[in-house]
Structure formats: C-alpha cells, structure tokens
Amino acid sequence: MPPQKIEIFKSLEDWAENNILTYLKPVEKCWQPHDFLPDPTSDGFYDRVKELRERAKEIPDDYFVVLVGDMITEEALPTYQTMLNTLDGVQDETGASLTPWAIWTRAWTAEENRHGDLLNKYLYLSGRVDMRQIEKTIQYLIGSGMDPRTENNPYLGFIYTSFQERATFISHGNTARLAKEHGDNNLAQICGNIASDEKRHETAYTKIVEKLFEIDPDATVQTFADMMRKKISMPAHLMYDGRDDNLFDNFSAVAQRLGVYTAKDYADILEFLVNKWKVTEINGLSAEGRKAQDYVCGLAPRIRKLEERAQGRAKQAPKVPFSWIFDRQVQL
C-alpha cells in the first residue's frame, strides 16, 4: 500500500480510540468459559458432568461434526491475530504497542480466545467426540495458517473481517438454535454467547469500513469489489486431520445441509454489507469505482441464482466418515 494510504490509518487513530475501542467489553464484565461449564470445585461437579453428557447423547453426530469444525476454527486464533498484524498501518509493532489499532487487535484476540476454550472444554466433557483427532486437526491448522488474499492491505483486511464476523455470528446463532431444538439449553447458551460476541465484533469492523467509505470511497469500493472477486475464503479451509484430504469440503457440506452456514448466507451477508455501507448511494466515483460499485451491488442476486441452480441439480450426497467422531458416518 502506498505511504499516503498507510498515513490514513495513522490519522484515524484518535477516531478509532473513540469509536472502535468502545466495542470492546471490559474484562471484568465479560463472561468466562467457567460460567457455562460444570464447576470442578463444587460438590455437584460429577452430577453436572453426568447431565452434560446425557444431554449430549441426544444430539446427533452431524451436529457435532459442525460444532467441532467451528471449534477447530476458533482454536486457530493465532492465525487470525497474525493476519491482523500483517495489515499495513494497523500493526502491533512491539506486541504491546499502545496505538488504538494494536489495543483493538490484542483485546479482540483475548475475547475470541474464550470461544475456543469454552467449546474445547465442552466437547472434551461431552464424550461424543474424538478429542485426539480434533487436537491433531487444530495443530495442523495452526501450522498451515491461512491466506485470505488481503495482501497487507487494511482496506481488504477489514472488509474481510466484517464479512467473517457476520458469518460467525450467523453460524453460531444457528448452532445455538439447533442445540435448543435438541434439548440442550446449556449448549444453546454457550453458542449464543459466542454469537453475541461475534455480533459486537461485526459492528466494530463494519464501522471501520464505513469510515473508510466516508473518507476514501473510491478506493474502498474498489477493494470491496476486489475482495468479492477473490471470494471470501473461510479461515479453516486448509483444515486437515491426517486422514481426509477433503475434510473442509465435507465439513462445509454438512454445515450447509444443517443450515448452519450456507451459500444463501454468503449472499445474504454480502447484501447486508452493501446495504450497511450504502454502496448504491455513493456518488462521485471514478470509472473504475463505478465498475466496482456495479459489480458489488449486483453480485448477491447472481450468487443466489447460481445457488438455486445448484440446489435444483443436487444429486444425492454420500455419507462419509469423520475422524472427529471416531469415523462414524454422516450424510453430506
């Protein structure tokens, strides 16, 4: 990114302090994993664990495949903190830098860290899944990293994170709803609390991009189009468990079938962002900017049409084993 663009983020530091850091929750007010798990120091600990496991028995394998995939994604958090620190102009230069951007990144990471911890402990206690395979998958995934093609560019980076936070908000919201349907209110609360964090993060990231649209609409709309052309790749798309070369695709297929996260959601998120950032209303764009504007504004309906066609032609999918559940099979 050219120096004058990097300068923009320096000049936004005060604004970020006053408008973005406010979306962080003070640690003293945050929930902790402890709040939703059996308390080992209490007399009723064994009973609570027994109850948790009994509830988990009523939840089908396909749900667990999706929950595990989500948990693995959350546990790859080091990759995401790294990714944020690749973005020019907003990096945490020392690991303890006091710029608002650096403060945001560390505090955001700290909030997210609770998500993986909570899901990990829940899955461990549930007795429904092969923790060793899951742990292996996490180790592979953190080792692989991810490249969302944000190219050190915070315009791309924050558009990407805006999309992703909304995607996680939607998918954790769906796992919460499904947990409730399966009679597990505690798991529903777990997923629901994670979802509400994600919603707060989505609001923060979209606000950053809203500001970028305000001060540099032409560049921002062009990078929005660029990011969408590249397609929003999922953070865990390189996931591998040592056995299944199509692990991510298989996991995604189950998530799609269960309605946890679907192609329709992808189109809906895009449309939400186009509306949120009022992309249709931007004036005074360059020719390239207008092309980008047209592309982005017209994209969601195209994706929906494509998805309708794909659904219409969908052949019966196979059942495949997942090592996360001891190679039990699940319908894709």
Partner 1 sequence: MASSTGLSLKFSPLSTSFKQNKVRGICNVNSVSLPSRGMRLGSLRLRVSCAAKPETVDKVCSIVRKQLALPKDSPVTGESKFSALGADSLDTVEIVMGLEEEFGISVEEESAQHILTVQDAADLIEKLVEQKSA
17 assigned to active site: no
What gap in Å lies between CA 295 and CA 229, rounded to an integer?
A: 9
- Count CB-CB contacts under 10 A for residue 24: 18
Report how many residues bind partner 1 under the rule CB under 8 A: 45
262 contacts partner 1 (rule: CB under 8 A): yes
What gap in Å lies between CA 214 and CA 97, rounded to an integer?
A: 27
Shortest Cβ 47–partner 1 spacing (Å): 30
198 contacts partner 1 (rule: CB under 8 A): yes
108 assigned to active site: no
Residue 17 is assigned to a ligand binding site: no
Shortest Cβ 212–partner 1 spacing (Å): 18
319 contacts partner 1 (rule: CB under 8 A): no
74 assigned to active site: yes
What gap in Å lies between CA 85 and CA 82, rounded to an integer?
A: 5
105 assigned to active site: no
Q: Is 179 helix (H, G, I), strand (E, B) or coil?
A: helix
What gap in Å lies between CA 151 and CA 163, rounded to an integer?
A: 17
Backbone phi and psi for residue 32, each to the nearest 5 degrees, phi listed first: -125, 155
234 contacts partner 1 (rule: CB under 8 A): yes
25 contacts partner 1 (rule: CB under 8 A): no
Range in contact with partner 1 (rule: CB under 8 A) among 89-97, 127-135, 233-241, 274-282:
233-241
Catalytic residue, chosen from 73, 115, 161, 262, is 115
In DSSP terms, 330 is beta-bridged to 320
112 contacts partner 1 (rule: CB under 8 A): yes
Collect contacts of 21-28 with beta carbons under 8 A, ≥24 apart.
Answer: 21/100, 21/103, 21/104, 21/107, 23/200, 23/201, 23/203, 23/204, 23/207, 24/104, 24/107, 24/108, 24/111, 25/111, 25/200, 27/110
Contacts of partner 1 in 137-166 (CB under 8 A):
161, 164-165
109 assigned to active site: no
**H helices within 26-99, ranges in order?**
45-57, 61-75, 77-84
Catalytic residue, chosen from 168, 175, 220, 262, is 168
Range in contact with partner 1 (rule: CB under 8 A) among 27-35, 45-53, 232-240, 275-283:
232-240
Interaction pattern, residues 69-108, with partner 1; x per rule: CB under 8 A? xxx-xx-----x---------------------------x
Residue 115 is assigned to a ligand binding site: yes
**Best CA proximity match to 72, nearest among 253, 241, 325:** 241
| Residue with token string 């994706």 | 303
308 assigned to active site: no
- Specify binding-site residues for Fe cation: 74, 112, 115, 165, 198, 201
Catalytic sites, residue numbers: 31, 74, 112, 115, 165, 168, 197-198, 201
